[in-house]
């Protein structure tokens, strides 16, 4: 039936080069990433924006995994079945070196920055499969401290071959890692864990072997080949390396109870697991479990920043695409002054997040552990917190069409809060920043050094930075006031860091607008309230955004 001619509808957002069109990211790649990987990143950006990849992303999200606890004959198998598009996405992500490869690369090589740019670019296809990619990357940081376990697992975790299925690592071309940290009663308070580990010498695994009994409340990607698990050993909370398959081919006890019914992240299986006589190899000393996984936590939090930045950028790109094709009230949306204000404001947020995310990855490459310690915690709190309101505003740029699943923003909206929760929610991260400032003063010194690179170039930024550092330096950890003020302290430091990096690396219109709106706070409470004297800067920002 034909009742009208279809006009003024926006074409699908496909066929875009997701790296080349992201000028802030492309510049960061040129600045910090391994030059040998530039061509590979360009190819990944082209593939990520293709109709084929975007359709696989949609299908993976629309067809969530299915738990198979038993086979047709009643045998317990504890497997999860994924849609073919999940495997297509995983194959490309692993093949692009987005897992643990940087931990096997030379220092100062730009491998972490190359991988960060690739992860951000590819995450724009579909975010859920990024979870096991992130956990595999992070596991490499913890395993490298034990030469025996690293020799056993790191080559497979750094492999560019995706080899799905529960089999011994010795017979696999590549492996994926997961984590088992949180329990029902504790959540982020892992010291409240009750899972027990009993030393059992002579077990079927290398190293010091234990048997674990207990549960894990959130265990994502349960079809991973190996998990880093926290459990209570006689000496206290300890980290263990737990494979799904033992060397003789039998399966390690790993009973999947159910899969979580989540707000978003639908393609990724998040499970509840029972451990009963499950074998694990001890990683690190007994009682030092938290210290053992601290590098892994930092790497995972870095990926939270990268993933949130990717979500921001994708939301911005889709809003811009719509505004450049949709007419209303006699003009394209992108040509209307108030819409330009909104879009430029969103672009500022995305660029500041991008420059920060890539600078943090560069810190991993350069061994700047003190800067990474504090900078990652700041970024995890701030960038991940900013993602949800930004995506909501981008969705609104599409009007009612943005609220419809087919246009992509609805999926991003459901995804947006996740990285604020994963690996420690907002309060956990804010308090971690306070703890780092007080207990690890070298981290604040490293941050101060980074902030002072641009000292003297903006009086407004200098004043904000001085205030933020003074507030941070005066914290009394014994006072409840320090905890009460934690979020405001972290917010001010994060804005100072973003402002310094944007001033150092971004063009003047971006830096001027960021400092005026975020640092000097000549800005309202919603996106799209840039002051009128920034109208010319807003136009330059949109021309740069691609």
What pLDDT does residue 242 have? 98
Tell me the pLDDT tens digit for each residue of 477-535. Answer: 778 999 999 999 999 999 999 999 999 999 999 999 999 999 999 999 999 999 999 99
pLDDT of residue 508: 97
CA gap 302, 372 in Å, rounded: 9
Q: Which among 190, 159, 169, 160 has a CA at the least distance from the CA of 241?
A: 169
Note the pLDDT of residue 186.
Answer: 78
pLDDT of residue 487: 96
What percent of the chain shows pLDDT beyond 90?
95
Is residue 41 a contact partner of residue 118, using CB atoms and an 8 Å limit? yes
Look up tokens 């995972």; give the residue.
Answer: 300
Question: Looking at residues 427-449, what average pLDDT do you find?
Answer: 95
Top-confidence residue, 479 or 90: 90
Q: Give the pLDDT band (50/70/90) at residue 145.
A: confident
Residue 1, pLDDT > 80, answer: no
pLDDT at 169: 97
pLDDT score, position 478: 79
Helices (DSSP H) in 326-397: which residue ranges?
A: 337-366, 369-397
Give me the chain's average pLDDT, please: 96
From residue 386, alpha-carbon distances to 91, 316, 419, 527 in Å are 31, 13, 11, 11
Mean pLDDT confidence for 153-169: 98
- 210 forms beta bridges with 199, 280
- Please check the confidence at residue 192 and state whether its pLDDT lies above 90: no
The residue ranges of DSSP E strands in 226-317, in sequence order, are: 226-233, 236-243, 255-259, 270-283
pTM, entire model: 0.97
Integer Cα distance of 499 and 515 in angstroms: 6
Question: What number of residues does the chain have?
Answer: 546
Name every residue whose Cβ is closer than 8 Å to that of residue 536 and which is 6 or more positions away in sequence: 509
Which domains, from first to last, does the chain contain?
23-158 (no CATH), 175-289 (2.40.110.20), 292-543 (1.20.140.10)
Q: Using the Cα atoms of residue 304, residue 545, residue 42 and residue 363 in order, give the sign of their dihedral.
A: negative
The answer to whether residue 190 scores a pLDDT higher than 90 is no
């Amino acid at each position: 039936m034909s009742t009208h001619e279809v006009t003024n509808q926006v074409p699908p957002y496909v066929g875009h080069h997701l790296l080349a069109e992201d000028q802030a990211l492309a510049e960061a790649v040129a600045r910090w990433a391994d030059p040998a990987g530039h061509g590979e990143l360009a190819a990944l950006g082209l593939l990520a924006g293709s109709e084929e990849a975007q359709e696989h992303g949609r299908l993976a999200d629309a067809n969530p995994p299915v738990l198979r606890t038993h086979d047709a004959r009643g045998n317990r198998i504890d497997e999860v079945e994924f849609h073919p598009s999940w495997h297509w996405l995983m194959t490309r992500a692993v093949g692009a070196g987005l897992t643990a490869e940087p931990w096997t690369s030379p220092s100062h090589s730009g491998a972490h920055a190359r991988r960060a740019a690739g992860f951000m670019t590819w995450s724009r296809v579909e975010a859920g499969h990024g979870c096991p990619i992130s956990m595999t990357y992070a596991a490499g940081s913890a395993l490298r401290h034990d030469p025996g376990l690293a020799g056993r697992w790191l080559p497979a975790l750094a492999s560019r071959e995706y080899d799905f299925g529960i089999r011994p690592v010795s017979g696999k071309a590549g492996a994926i890692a997961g984590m088992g940290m949180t329990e029902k009663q504790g959540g982020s308070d892992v010291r409240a864990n009750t899972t027990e580990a009993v030393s059992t010498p002579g077990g079927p695994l290398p190293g010091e072997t234990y048997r674990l009994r207990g549960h894990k409340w959130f265990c994502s990607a349960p079809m991973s080949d190996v998990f880093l698990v926290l459990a209570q050993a006689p000496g206290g909370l300890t980290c263990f390396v737990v494979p799904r398959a033992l060397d003789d081919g039998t399966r390690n006890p790993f009973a999947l109870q159910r899969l979580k019914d989540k707000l978003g992240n639908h393609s990724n299986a998040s499970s509840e697991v029972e451990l009963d006589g499950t074998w694990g190899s001890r990683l690190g000393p007994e009682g030092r479990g938290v210290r053992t996984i601290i590098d892994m936590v930092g790497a995972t939090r870095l990926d939270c920043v990268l993933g949130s930045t990717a979500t921001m950028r994708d939301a911005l790109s889709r809003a811009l695409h719509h505004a450049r094709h949709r007419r209303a009230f006699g003009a394209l949306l992108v040509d209307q002054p108030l819409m330009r204000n909104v879009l430029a404001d969103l672009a500022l947020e995305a660029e500041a997040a991008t420059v920060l995310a890539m600078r943090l990855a560069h810190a991993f490459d350069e061994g700047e552990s003190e800067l990474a310690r504090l900078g990652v915690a700041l970024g995890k709190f701030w960038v991940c917190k900013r993602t949800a309101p930004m995506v909501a505003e981008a969705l609104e740029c599409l009007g009612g069409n943005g609220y419809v699943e087919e246009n992509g923003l609805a999926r991003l909206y459901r995804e947006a809060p996740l990285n604020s929760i994963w690996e420690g929610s907002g309060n956990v991260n804010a308090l971690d920043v306070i703890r780092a400032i007080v207990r690890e003063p070298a981290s604040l010194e490293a941050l101060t050094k980074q902030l002072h690179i641009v000292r003297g170039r903006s009086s407004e930024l200098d004043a904000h930075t001085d205030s933020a550092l003074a507030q941070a330096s005066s914290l009394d950890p014994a006072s409840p006031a320090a905890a009460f003020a934690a979020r405001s302290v972290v917010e001010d430091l994060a804005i100072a860091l973003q402002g310094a990096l944007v001033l150092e690396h971004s063009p003047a219109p971006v830096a001027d607008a960021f400092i005026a709106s975020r640092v000097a706070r000549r800005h309202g409470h919603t996106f799209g309230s840039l002051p009128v004297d920034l109208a010319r800067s807003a136009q330059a920002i949109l021309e740069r955004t691609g």
